[in-house]
Structure 1
Amino acid sequence: MHDIQIIVRPAQSADIDRILRFREHARRVVMHFGYEDLVQMVKRGMCLVADTGPLLWGFVCTASYQPGLAMLRGIGLINGWRIDDGLSYLLRPMEQSLIEQGMRYLMHLAVDVWLSAPLMRQGFIPHDYIIHFERATPVKPLLPEYQLEDVTLRPLHPHEIQALTLLDHQAFDWPWQFSSGELVKWLMIADRLVVLEAEGELVGYACTQVHGEQAQIVRLAILPQWQGRGLGRYLLADALDFAAQRGARFVTLNTQWHNTASQRLYKGFGFRAVGRRIPVLIKELKEP
């Protein structure tokens, strides 16, 4: 293998199918993206391949997550290539490219167990864990029990994106804050995105998606100064009722290991943690 010349270069349109077919001849593959995602990453120069000519030896794909922070969305290594060698070959030029694009950090959600330890040997450090919760949809409506009189539950208006972005950034710690662009995307594709208004300002919001028999509460946030007043329960009850009305049988959501307040809220509503904790790994990008 040492006699083979490996060239690491930006992926091109012709490489898209080669990357998507990589699973056919490699075991160590992580692909947290679909075809359209890959097309965009290639167009933006955020995907590299290790090419020998007739065969790809590996690839690495990233995407901008928020200003200064990129997400490691996919990586693959051909069978027989030592993991540490392959990661070093691919990550060093990718990190340099990200630095040139203004990125300061690279984050990975370590769903695939085999990749965690090798990434930490490449300088990634554990930042947090993601916990997955699930419960059945309610048999009878919950909202009447948790509805509040001094706040208004209503849809988000498009002109309120900046106000919603400010709310989101106050409610969530780095790196979990959504950009305005991300919130616009959810406004367009979410099955339900509602806000709570009180005293003339947005104080909370929730975003829900329904896919057949399963719904996901993508986002639930309350301004810190308004927490502890039942607003989170109000939004959660509304989301659960909406999921039940749409025919979902189960509702899922995620939160961070350190967010004990959210965990108490969800457990109080009958959610239970399922699956394993997902490590969140982050590397600070520095010039060599």
Structure 2
Amino acid sequence: MNLRQTSAEDRAVIEGLIASAPWSHVHLDWIDPTKLTDKDPFILATDGQIPAGTLGCPPDLPGVAWVRTFAAAEGFDLREIWRVLWAEAVSRLRRLDVDIVAAIALEDWFEKLIRNAGFKRTNSVIFYELEFEPGMVANRSSRDSSHPLRSIRSADLEAILEVDGHSFEPIWRLSGDSLSVAMLQASSASLIEDQGKVLGYQITTSSAFGAHLARLAVRPSHRREGLGTALVNDAIKSIREIGLDQLSVNTQEKNAPSRRLYENMGFRTTGKEFPVFEIQL
């Protein structure tokens, strides 16, 4: 078995492997992992000229990496492919000073692999959904009217990154690249500011199936002021204007303030939940 770091030229090979492999994992977010093939570590295993498996887990921010994708091709031993790829990835991640690797287990077979590798369950991702009824009026916010709400502009990226960094634990924070991709995909993106200081923001994407609240963050110093409610209401208003009747969102099981906000606004759990695992290197 030969192992090598991929490059941008390998994107088509990785796409084909992920699409055809009987065992294929792709991380749950808006980043296409095949666009990360020029990032380290993104490893391809081959048997001669035949792609046998791939593992991509490049860090998005210093010190933390997510398993972005893993696939094992037909005719190869799943556990052996994982073993050799994971060993190589760990070696590369340590050289990059990555301390924590996280993964969301979307299927049982992947959960078994990462548990056997030493990953421990630390959280879970819970899914919520809000269906708009005819004549439904959005919940009113108690926020101070002196805090203006406006659409996000590309020049706001650094300020939004600062809010994001204060709002989430390290494994849940986003890089500028990830936020830029989310902003490009957004159907609705707005922020609340006070005298030029961004207090919170939301980014919502949409498709033919409905809309998804991809990111919501409010500075800890300004929580419980109704800003989160105001931002979600702005997303609801925007997506209703384009004819959509449903908004989904996911959040962490241990994020009690986030869950309380959505439940108070009428979101209901869908019953879908995926465990989150971490390992210290």
The TM-score range, normalised by the shorter chain, is: 0.7 to 0.9
Q: 1:32 to 1:228 in 2, by over 3 A?
A: closer
Amino acid at match of 2:260: R
1:270 to 247, 266, 270: 266
Following the alignment from structure 1 to structure 2, what is the Cα–Cα distance between the partners of residues 48 and 120?
21
2:174 to 175, 178, 184: 178
Paired position in structure 1 for 2:84: 89
1:52 to 21, 30, 47: 47
Following the alignment from structure 1 to structure 2, what is the Cα–Cα distance between the partners of residues 194 and 141?
21
| Aligned pairs, number | 279
What SS does the corresponding residue of 1:43 show, helix, strand or coil? coil
Paired position in structure 2 for 1:3: none
2:6 to 6, 11, 20: 11
TM superposition score normalised by structure 2:
0.87
Following the alignment from structure 2 to structure 1, what is the Cα–Cα distance between the partners of residues 247 and 166?
26
Q: 1:22 to 1:13 in 2, by over 3 A?
A: same
**2:187 and 2:239 in contact (8 A); partners too:** no
Q: 1:267 to 1:91 in 2, by over 3 A?
A: same
> How large is the RMSD of aligned CA atoms in angstroms?
2.7
Is 1:220 equivalent to 2:220 in the alignment? no
Deviations 1:1-21 (A, max 9, x none): xxxxx2222235665444333
Paired position in structure 1 for 2:127: 132
Paired position in structure 2 for 1:145: 140
Following the alignment from structure 2 to structure 1, what is the Cα–Cα distance between the partners of residues 101 and 129?
29
C-alpha displacement of 1:63: 3.2
Larger Rg: 1
**2:189 and 2:235 in contact (8 A); partners too:** no
C-alpha displacement of 1:38: 5.0
What SS does the corresponding residue of 2:68 show, helix, strand or coil? strand
What SS does the corresponding residue of 2:172 show, helix, strand or coil? coil
Amino acid at match of 1:98: L
**2:28 and 2:104 in contact (8 A); partners too:** no
Q: 1:25 to 1:143 in 2, by over 3 A?
A: closer
C-alpha displacement of 1:89: 1.0
Gaps of at least 5 residues in structure 2 are none
1:248 to 244, 248, 256: 244
1:258 to 233, 254, 257: 254
C-alpha displacement of 1:272: 1.1
**1:9 and 1:49 in contact (8 A); partners too:** yes
Paired position in structure 1 for 2:183: 187
1:233 to 229, 244, 247: 229
Q: 1:24 to 1:263 in 2, by over 3 A?
A: closer
Q: 1:234 to 1:109 in 2, by over 3 A?
A: same
Paired position in structure 2 for 1:30: 25
Gaps of at least 5 residues in structure 1 are 1-5
Following the alignment from structure 1 to structure 2, what is the Cα–Cα distance between the partners of residues 24 and 174?
31
**1:143 and 1:238 in contact (8 A); partners too:** no
Deviations 1:121-171 (A, max 9, x none): 112121211111111135336458337423211123444332222211222
Q: 1:20 to 1:207 in 2, by over 3 A?
A: closer
Query: Identical aligned pairs, as a percentage?
Result: 23
Paired position in structure 2 for 1:61: 56
**1:207 and 1:217 in contact (8 A); partners too:** yes
C-alpha displacement of 1:275: 3.6
TM superposition score normalised by structure 1:
0.85
**1:210 and 1:246 in contact (8 A); partners too:** no
